[in-house]
Structure 1
């Protein structure tokens, strides 16, 4: 089969294009998917570059770093094996099943849940893996995963549109759930023009919250289509003044970086900060007096419970959220697609197709 294969941590040159890579076969309880499209995410970039390593303190650049720790270069803080086929957001048709898997899935169009579970303990986060990290993913013509990691989806959306949802929207829904966002909240979303940021806007609105989006002004028109109540520049010099009378009870952040203390300073007393990324830089400065004197709550969010993916699929089928498909590239051009993703050339999600 055709596949884009990652050979190690480093720059885009670590990808190799193959047209004769062995096609995987489904094992017990597994399904074989003919991939129609696969989304591209920060996890792909950060795993390839080794950015997750504590040896790296800079923003996500997408390039090779001078030093990457051998023991902690991935999201889970442990090594992965190479060669590896990345790609968590696979959408396609089930063409075969392994022993014990439901044969009725053959011929069905499915989306993949990126979180790999120990199904004897599905809520045990210490036993979680990630599709395209701890096992081969969807940057190929075919992919294999556990049947419990797929959902048949009843939707008129294209494969490419469906491939924008799994990682971004389960990440966003997990963040909002950890922060207990309700209709009584006002949620501030930095980086609202990205995949997770756009998902946060839509999913927070779905919960009935008031949403304030932050994005580069050149992207405001596209962000407006997501339905935020207010759109601000990416990093106002005086955020308090820009907010006016708005009272922010939740900051849902995937950006981090030097602007981070400003976001914390505008939270209302008893407010919540939830985080699932730090693309502008993982190292931040916190005044602990702000944290405890204002009774703030901080939550990190990575591994989501199994129901979150199923919930997102339900939102899709009921038309409660919509895809933000920015661009589609041939899988063979993954390097170009990933560079466009890194450069934030597009507003929304980028997808590759075999």
Structure 2
């Protein structure tokens, strides 16, 4: 089969198109013919060494073992089964839950043995992938591409919203709102939890797209009066911030939060380290959450919300599998709204 492997840490030249054997499913696994694979920051940061370039470079203590086929937002069709899997599942169109762990229900994402597809396992930048049968769910939409934009980004966004326990009528600020996680945060906060959403993006020409997704107000992070604009839009401090940017908007996020507000972060594309005056936290009684991925129950709830039309796919562009280098390069450019998807 054709596959794209990461052969080491570095730039996109570390992505190589190769011919490798089609994987064989273990007893409890299925063989999936990949039809679409969304691109995430996670596989780019893994390649670039943003998680580290030694023994902490992946989700497991031993680090990533190269070569590795990346890709975790995967949809496809089951075409083969292991010895312990009923052959009746062959032909199912599925979306893959993106990690394994021994964690109990509700704690799967924080188990110490959590292992991620595309990092600890070969992933979806390929024509075929193997995965545990119990972690393959029916696609929520008819389109493979549309269904491939939710797994990691959607689960992450859903869990972030669950963390802050936003209530109908409250106001949440969403940073990075034009990206994969951010655009889903807008939809989930607005349409599932009933919040008023202030979306932060770069170019305000995309404001109509964000309002169509559910944002009540759209502001630009390029504004020199960003905090004042957020406070004016809401008529005062906001209830919560859902952040995927990190340092670049951290001070503003804390500034606009009300006393007793909540800040949840699941990404740091705008800087992984920041300067924090602890007095801001305790004097404003701010609760902070670190968040990544989520639980199987949340994944199922998300798929149901997608099926019912509460959450809609936002696809910026697709690329052929062989153009993974170009796709990852494009992913890092500004001015996109939604997900980038590879199609074998």
- Asked if 1:249 corresponds to 2:233, the answer is no
Secondary structure of 2:146's aligned partner: helix
Identify the match of residue 95 of structure 1 among 69, 79, 101.
79
Contact kept, 8 Å, 2:74 with 2:148, in 1: the verdict is yes
Give the match for residue 140 of structure 1: 126
Give the match for residue 282 of structure 2: 292
Question: Where does 1:264-283 land on structure 2 (aligned, <5 Å)?
Answer: 264-283=254-273
Contact kept, 8 Å, 2:103 with 2:111, in 1: the verdict is no
Contact kept, 8 Å, 1:235 with 1:259, in 2: the verdict is no
Q: Please give the TM-score of this superposition, normalised by the length of structure 2.
A: 0.94
Question: Where does 1:121-140 land on structure 2 (aligned, <5 Å)?
Answer: 123=108, 125-140=111-126
Secondary structure of 1:264's aligned partner: helix
Cα shift readout 1:69-127 (whole Å, capped 9, x = no counterpart)? x1222245541111110100110100011122232221010001112223778635212
Give the match for residue 40 of structure 1: 39
Identify the match of residue 258 of structure 1 among 248, 252, 268.
248
CA distance in 1, matches of 2:66, 2:112: 22
CA distance in 2, matches of 1:303, 1:347: 21
Give the match for residue 231 of structure 1: 218
Cα shift readout 1:41-87 (whole Å, capped 9, x = no counterpart)? 0001101111012xxxxxxxxxxxxxx4x122224554111111010
Contact kept, 8 Å, 1:128 with 1:303, in 2: the verdict is no
Give the match for residue 100 of structure 2: 116
Give the match for residue 163 of structure 1: 148
CA distance in 1, matches of 2:94, 2:242: 29
Q: CA deviation at 1:303?
A: 4.1
- Asked if 1:22 corresponds to 2:29, the answer is no
Cα shift readout 1:179-234 (whole Å, capped 9, x = no counterpart)? 11221421100110000000000000121111110111232232222121111112
Moved more, 192-201 or 44-53: 44-53
Give the match for residue 221 of structure 1: 208
Secondary structure of 1:126's aligned partner: coil
Change (3 A) 1:154 1:338: closer
How many residues of Structure 1 are paired with residues of Structure 2 in the alignment?
337
CA distance in 1, matches of 2:61, 2:49: 10
Identify the match of residue 190 of structure 1 among 175, 179, 200.
175
Question: Where does 1:39-78 land on structure 2 (aligned, <5 Å)?
Answer: 39-53=38-52, 68=53, 70-76=54-60, 78=62
CA distance in 1, matches of 2:61, 2:162: 24
Secondary structure of 2:210's aligned partner: helix
Give the match for residue 3 of structure 1: 3
Q: CA deviation at 1:239?
A: 2.8
Secondary structure of 1:171's aligned partner: helix
- Which structure 2 segments of 5+ residues have no match? none
CA distance in 1, matches of 2:60, 2:169: 34
Contact kept, 8 Å, 1:85 with 1:132, in 2: the verdict is yes
CA distance in 1, matches of 2:247, 2:93: 39
Secondary structure of 1:127's aligned partner: coil
Secondary structure of 1:43's aligned partner: helix
CA distance in 1, matches of 2:104, 2:131: 16
Q: Please give the TM-score of this superposition, normalised by the length of structure 1.
A: 0.91
CA distance in 2, matches of 1:238, 1:74: 38
Contact kept, 8 Å, 1:255 with 1:280, in 2: the verdict is yes
Question: Where does 1:332-351 land on structure 2 (aligned, <5 Å)?
Answer: 332-351=322-341
CA distance in 2, matches of 1:220, 1:160: 24
Change (3 A) 1:340 1:99: same
Cα shift readout 1:229-287 (whole Å, capped 9, x = no counterpart)? 11111243223320211431110000012331121111000000001000011111111
CA distance in 2, matches of 1:142, 1:119: 27
